[in-house]
Homo-oligomer: A and B are copies of this chain.
Amino acid sequence: MEDAYNADCCDFICAHEEIVSTVRREIPDEDVLYDLAELFRIFGDSTRIRILYVLSVSEMCVCDIAQLLGLTQSAISHQLKALKNTRLVKSRRDGKTVFYSLADDHVRAILGQGVEHVEE
């Protein structure tokens, strides 16, 4: 593993070895980075972003969200499942209808950071 510093790169050895080895020591576990990418991947779809934004205003049932966004109930339900699996959203049942809402303020914070970058 360590001697990968000397591995070929491009056609030859061009690595700045000290930097590479320093950085290699400081990056988090593969798993953490994978989960992180997975988290952002879920944010990275405009339907899901719209759902999250909608839920940041008020809890809502599947049906209302579908109507509001102009998509099938099925599409919304599928996406809500993805959002729930990543714990970005939680649900409560009230009779036949299920109300969804943001899981916690992390979600709001992440959205906020994103908006800052976009609107800068």
Which among B10, B14, B70, B114 is the interface contact of A40 at CB below 8 angstroms?
B114
Contact A58 B19 (CB under 8 A): yes
Known contacts A34-B46, A40-B43, A46-B33; A15/B120 CB under 8 A: no
How far, in Å, is A57 (CB) from chain B's closest CB? 5
Of the four ranges (under 10, 10 to 19, 20 to 34, 35 or more), the interface on chain A belongs to 35 or more
Contact B68 A23 (CB under 8 A): yes
In angstroms, Cα B27 to Cα A61, docked, is 17
By secondary structure, the A interface counts as helix
Binary B-proximity of A36-58 (CB < 8 A = 1, otherwise 0)? 11111111111011100110011
Contact A32 B67 (CB under 8 A): no
Which among B27, B44, B66, B120 is the interface contact of A9 at CB below 8 angstroms?
B66
Which among B48, B54, B66, B119 is the interface contact of A37 at CB below 8 angstroms?
B48
Contact A37 B27 (CB under 8 A): no
User: CB of A2 within 8 A of chain B?
Assistant: no
Q: Chain B residue with minimal CB distance to A7? A: B67
